[in-house]
Chain A
Amino acid sequence: LDNDRTEAVAGDLARMLADYLENNWVDSPCAGKPVGADTNMVTGLQLDSFQVMEFMLEVEDRFDVAIDLESLSDTQTITDLAGVVVAAQEET
């Protein structure tokens, strides 16, 4: 059940991030790159730490969860991030 939920959240996050990149940082190396559940935000999209933190503000509000910065330290892929969101939902 948790896997299904994580997969569904990862799908939402991939769409959110694709939209976000289209509307922000259009000049950065990540512009126009496809985003999927397995996409690595750091090595694949080349997002820097600031960009990841900015995107997290969107994620927190969309899912109404509190995600502390430390939770992101090992987060690389969209699926990793979905796991963080699901864990935060459970805590809430």
Chain B
Amino acid sequence: VTTLLDKFEPVRELAAGLERAGRDPTNVVFDEVRSATVGVVNGRDTILAGTNNYLGLTFDPSCLGAGVKALESRGTGTTGSRMANGSYALHTVLEGELADFYQCRHAMVFSTGYAANLGVLTALLVKEDAVLLDADAHASLYDGCRMSGADIYRFRHNDVHSLERRLARLGDRAQRCLVVVEGLYSVLGDCAPLQGIAELKKRFGARLLVDEAHSLGVYGERGCGVAEALGIMGEVDFFVGTFSKSLGSMGGFCASRHDVLDLFRYVSRPFMFTASPSPAVAATTLEALRQLRARPELKDRLWSNARSLYGGLQALGLELGPEVSPVVAVRCRDRESALSNWNRLLEAGIYVNMMLPPATPGGASFLRCSVSAAHTDAQIDTIIERFAGLEI
């Protein structure tokens, strides 16, 4: 006889296995966070090299000031959804500035990046539609597609030919198809070949959604993302992204030139039935977006650090992701190597992410670093030195 709770036994074993190897990488506690790049773990100052804080804005004085001002003047929370409780002016101003940033007429703010992907995909797609999804797409994109009921077809990661074959197989259905990709993929730090993808979507009459979660503020002259960097912004039907990485805040968004986006407010359940972003969150997001636009030097500094870390780790002979980017993934020989070396790095004062299968490309294990504009040269050097001491 099995009970309702028995299904969690394999999960219990998995968690116990992680703890046996040292600390549980899914449950690290920072007793204090001193800056965008330093936290305290177990009483020790630790360099944060796995927090996706690309522009280092979490302690930016302007963002802090905007958050404090909103907190004091508008209160701690909105206490409900925008549909039920109404919008704060901060929400609509943020949407207006996002639309302007993406050179789209419409933008919509969600309470998290995950909710943005669920909210957009479940509003846009119905069961008669088809989705062509990059095989390495983020779980939130998979979940949104699944929840929509549309037919989901995967294509090989970043493989334009694989996408072309699958669009061709759809025949007339291609016109009811949404191609779903990310700008920058978050595990290996590789960019989508968006020019080829955009050309195909035009040829087959499909639509294109690009998730710029990890590329907002990182790619493109104005920092819009990979679509801007590759000159195809006009071909993107829906941009989605998050505020919780480069903007150092919390929430997600969609920007589109299609006016149906405004109708999503009436049908998107992850938008309608979630409390809206708190005033302080909306204010810090808005200020961070303004900082991103006003200070291109942040992006320059980020890339300088990314090149230093990638070059330094490459010089150690480590196997890295295919291109230089602010996401630097180090491939480990197996799961045990990833787990033990992740623990050794943390003991040596470096926090990175551990990525294990099945949530990884090719079923491999990685130690994943994310670089920040706020990292100093000395911090980058220290990260490289600590990796030099590992047997990966």
Contacts and interface: CB of A to CB of B under 8 A. Distances in A.
Nearest to B146: A69
B165 A61 contact: yes
Nearest to A66: B169
Given A49-B358, A57-B156, A57-B162, A68 B363 contact: no
Interface in B143-195: 146, 151-156, 162, 165-166, 169-170
B68 interface: no
A69 B154 contact: yes
Contacts of B135: 53-54, 57
B231 interface: no
A67 interface: yes
A68 B153 contact: yes
B22 interface: no
Task: Name the 3 nearest CB pairs between A and B, nearest first.
Answer: A50-B358, A68-B151, A66-B169
26 contacts: A25-B363, A27-B334, A48-B357, A49-B358, A50-B357, A50-B358, A50-B363, A51-B358, A51-B363, A53-B135, A54-B363, A57-B135, A57-B156, A60-B166, A61-B162, A61-B165, A64-B165, A66-B166, A66-B169, A67-B153, A68-B151, A68-B152, A68-B153, A69-B146, A70-B151, A70-B152
Contacts of B130: 68
A12 B229 CA distance: 44
A69 B152 contact: yes
Nearest to A56: B154
Interface residues of A, number: 22
A92 B359 CA distance: 32
A66 B130 CA distance: 11
A65 B146 contact: no
Given A48-B357, A60-B166, 15 more contacts: A25-B363, A28-B363, A50-B359, A53-B135, A53-B154, A54-B135, A56-B154, A61-B162, A64-B165, A66-B166, A67-B153, A68-B152, A69-B146, A69-B154, A70-B152
A60 B135 CA distance: 14
Nearest to B358: A50
Interface string A30-55: 00000000000000000011110110
A51 to B, nearest CB: 7
Contacts of B359: 50
Contacts of A49: 358
Nearest to A65: B169
Q: Give the interface centre of B130, B162, B169 by most chain A CB atoms within 10 Å.
A: B169
A24 B130 CA distance: 29
Nearest to B334: A27
A53 B170 CA distance: 19
Q: Give the interface centre of A56, A60, A64 by most chain B CB atoms within 10 Å.
A: A60
A67 B151 CA distance: 9
A66 B169 CA distance: 6
A1 B118 CA distance: 43
Q: Give the interface centre of A28, A51, A57, A61 by most chain B CB atoms within 10 Å.
A: A57
A50 B72 CA distance: 48
Contacts of A92: 169
Contact of A57 (B152, B154, B170, B357): B154
Contacts of B154: 53, 56-57, 69
Nearest to A92: B169
B128 to A, nearest CB: 12
Contacts of A24: 363
A51 B170 CA distance: 24
Q: Give the interface centre of B155, B334, B363 by most chain A CB atoms within 10 Å.
A: B363
Contacts of A56: 154
A61 B154 CA distance: 12
A92 B165 CA distance: 13
A35 to B, nearest CB: 18
Contacts of B153: 60, 66-69
A27 B170 CA distance: 36
A27 B334 CA distance: 9
Contacts of B162: 57, 61
Contacts of B169: 60, 64-66, 92
A50 B169 CA distance: 23
Q: Give the interface centre of A27, A48, A66 by most chain B CB atoms within 10 Å.
A: A66
Contacts of A69: 146, 152-154
B129 to A, nearest CB: 11
Contacts of B165: 61, 64
